[in-house]
């Protein structure tokens, strides 16, 4: 059986959740957290390794709440995202408290990922279909030596990913002939009176089509992608002023840049499943109710 890994980015501080560790909030009837359901779906789809990207101060909690249990089911590895995990020439340049985003998170796993993998957010529920489709692609379709680099992503319907409790940030995708040709990070997306409202990167109003597809940071990638992140992270840091403590090295922007430069081709795998997650504290009850409904339907 081909080795494939599930990489879970779980180092977020969770500021919108009131400062709590939202990735560890119980949502299932027996205290399960969202990651339990993602791991279940990934193993069911055929993935046979789990990598947790966390902060070092969360290590004890993670192992006690989920890691030790998952080790009984499959191979488990840990990677640690820290704000000061920078190339030597950039250490001490910024007075920053938050890590550098999803690109840096995945880069932290460079020593523990040597196989094709799927990467997801810890606090998002994706549904079974996307895991199955991406695993199928990694095992039977991905050319790991292709140039441009052969990638894939789960394409969710935007309207299946909104929160009732506030605006959300999404990577809105332009897809042509099954390939993603553009992804635009779009902010404060919300449905109000049947109309989608959104903001651009600089706070300007943006129009977003109701039938848009979005990336939910669920990518299927070859192991070689991480070496691209390493080179790109140095370029990213070299362009940032010392007073800039907010810029982030984000996977959608990284992959979009690769597409534009002809360095990657991304197959979009459409999924009809409804996403849900804990973006705001008020979202927790929605997640609990949604999980309960999935159990009632016999999916878990």
Which residues span the domain enclosing 16? Answer: 5-296
Q: Strand 149-157 to strand 213-221: parallel, antiparallel, or no bridges (unpaired)? A: antiparallel
Structure tokens at 201: 């990167």
**pLDDT band with cut points at 50, 70 and 90 for residue 281:** confident
| Residue 188 pLDDT greater than 50, yes or no | yes
Distance CA 101, CA 107 (A): 10
pLDDT at 184: 87
Tell me, what CATH number does 73's domain have? 3.90.550.10
Q: Report helix, strand and coil shares of the chain as percent, to nearest 5.
A: 30, 25, 40
3-state secondary structure 126-149: CCHHHHHHHHHHHHHCCCCCCCCE
Q: What does DSSP assign to residue 273? A: P
| Residue 152 pLDDT greater than 50, yes or no | yes
Mention every residue, 6+ apart, whose C-beta is less than 8 A from residue 282: 164, 165
State the helix-helix crossing angle for 128-140 and 34-45, rounded to 10 degrees: 40
Across the range 185-213, mean pLDDT stands at 88
Distance CA 201, CA 203 (A): 6
Q: Strand 213-221 to strand 195-199: parallel, antiparallel, or no bridges (unpaired)? A: unpaired
pLDDT tens for residues 30-83? 989 899 999 999 999 999 999 999 988 888 888 888 999 999 999 999 999 999
pLDDT at 23: 59
Closest CA to 46 of 125, 143, 117, 124: 117
pTM value? Answer: 0.92
**pLDDT band with cut points at 50, 70 and 90 for residue 21:** low
**Contact by Cβ (8 Å): 21, 58:** yes
Distance CA 155, CA 92 (A): 38
- Number of domains comprising the chain: 1
Across the range 97-111, mean pLDDT stands at 94
Distance CA 267, CA 53 (A): 25
pLDDT at 76: 98
């Amino acid at each position: 059986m081909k080795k494939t890994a599930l990489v879970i980015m779980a180092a977020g501080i969770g500021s919108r959740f009131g400062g709590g560790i939202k990735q560890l909030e119980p949502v299932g009837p027996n205290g399960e957290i969202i990651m339990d359901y993602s791991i279940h779906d990934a193993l069911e789809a055929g993935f046979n390794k789990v990598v947790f990207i966390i902060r070092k101060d969360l290590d004890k909690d993670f192992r006690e709440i989920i890691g030790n249990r998952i080790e009984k089911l499959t191979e488990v590895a840990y990677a640690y995202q820290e704000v000061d995990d920078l190339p030597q020439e950039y250490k001490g340049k910024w007075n920053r408290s938050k890590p550098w985003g999803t690109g840096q998170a995945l880069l932290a796993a460079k020593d523990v990922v040597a196989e094709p993998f799927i990467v997801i957010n810890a606090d998002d529920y994706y549904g079974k279909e996307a895991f199955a489709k991406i695993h199928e692609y990694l095992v039977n379709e991905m050319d790991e030596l292709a140039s441009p680099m052969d990638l894939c992503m789960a394409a969710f319907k935007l309207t299946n990913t909104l929160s009732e409790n506030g605006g959300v940030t999404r990577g809105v995708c332009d897809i042509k002939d099954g390939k993603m040709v553009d992804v635009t990070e779009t902010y404060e997306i919300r449905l109000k009176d049947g109309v989608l409202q959104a903001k651009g990167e600089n706070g300007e109003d943006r129009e977003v089509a109701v039938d848009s597809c979005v990336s939910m940071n669920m990518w299927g990638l070859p192991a070689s992608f991480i070496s691209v992140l390493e080179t790109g992270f140095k370029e990213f840091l070299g362009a940032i002023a010392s007073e800039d403590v907010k810029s982030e090295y984000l996977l959608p922007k990284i992959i979009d840049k690769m597409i534009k430069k002809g360095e990657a081709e991304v197959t979009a795998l459409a999924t009809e499943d409804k996403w849900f997650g804990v973006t705001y504290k008020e979202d927790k009850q929605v997640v609990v109710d949604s999980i309960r409904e999935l159990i009632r339907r016999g999916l878990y």
